C-alpha cells in the first residue's frame, strides 16, 4: 500500500479505502469486540481478561505494518473495547453500533489525513 521508495508515488488502492470504511469497522467489531465479549461474559470471566481477549487479537491483526501500527492498534483496541463494554449496558446492538461507528470515524479521519498529506488514490485499472 505504501511505497518505501521516496521516488515512487505513494497511493491508496480503492479496495483499501472500501475495506477501511465499510468492511473493517463492522467485521472487526464483530470478531474482536462482540464475539470475545459474549464468550467472556457468558463464562463470567474477569474484566481484564475480557479486555485482553478483545484487544490483543485486534492489535495483532495490525502488527504486519510494524511496531508503531501494533501499538496504535493496541491503544485503539482498548478504546474500542471500552466503548463496547460501556454501551453493552444499553444493549448489544447499541454496543455494536457505537463501536463500529467509532471505528469508522477513526478510519475516515486517518484516510483524510493521509490524503491531505500527499497520499494519492490509485485509480481503478480500466480494462
Residue 126 lies in a domain: no
Which single residue is written with the C-alpha cell 472487526? 28
> Looking at per-residue confidence, does 14 or 94 come out higher?
94
Torsional sign, CA 54, 78, 48, 55: positive
Which single residue is written with the C-alpha cell 500527499? 118
Q: How confident is the model at residue 15, as a pLDDT?
A: 86
> Looking at per-residue confidence, does 22 or 124 come out higher?
22
| Tally of domains in the chain | 1
If phi over 0 gives left and psi between -120 and 50 gives alpha, with beta otherwise, what is residue 118?
Answer: left
Backbone angles phi, psi at 118, to 5 degrees: 110, -5
Question: Residue 84 in contact with residue 54, Cβ under 8 Å?
Answer: yes
Q: What is the pLDDT of residues 64-116, one digit of tens each?
A: 989 999 999 999 999 999 999 999 999 999 999 999 999 999 999 999 988 88
Question: Residue 5 in contact with residue 115, Cβ under 8 Å?
Answer: no
Residue 4 lies in a domain: no
Q: How confident is the model at residue 5, as a pLDDT?
A: 45
Residue 55 lies in a domain: yes
Residue 53 lies in a domain: yes
Query: Average pLDDT, stretch 30-35?
Result: 97
Q: Report the share of the chain in percent with pLDDT over 90.
A: 73
Backbone angles phi, psi at 104, to 5 degrees: -60, -50
Residue 79 lies in a domain: yes
Residue 122 lies in a domain: no
Q: Which domain holds residue 64?
A: 26-115
Residue 14 lies in a domain: no
Residue 74 lies in a domain: yes
Amino acid at each position: 500500500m505504501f511505497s518505501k521508495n521516496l521516488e515512487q508515488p505513494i497511493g491508496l488502492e480503492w479496495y483499501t479505502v472500501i475495506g477501511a470504511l465499510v468492511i473493517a469497522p463492522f467485521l472487526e467489531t464483530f470478531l474482536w469486540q462482540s464475539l470475545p465479549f459474549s464468550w467472556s461474559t457468558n463464562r463470567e470471566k474477569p474484566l481484564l481478561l475480557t479486555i485482553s481477549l478483545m484487544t490483543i487479537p485486534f492489535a495483532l491483526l495490525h502488527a504486519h505494518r510494524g511496531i508503531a501500527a501494533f501499538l496504535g492498534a493496541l491503544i485503539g483496541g482498548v478504546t474500542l473495547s471500552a466503548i463496547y463494554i460501556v454501551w453493552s449496558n444499553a444493549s448489544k446492538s447499541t454496543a455494536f453500533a457505537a463501536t463500529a461507528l467509532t471505528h469508522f470515524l477513526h478510519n475516515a479521519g486517518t484516510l483524510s489525513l493521509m490524503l491531505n498529506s500527499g497520499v494519492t488514490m490509485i485509480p481503478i485499472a480500466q480494462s
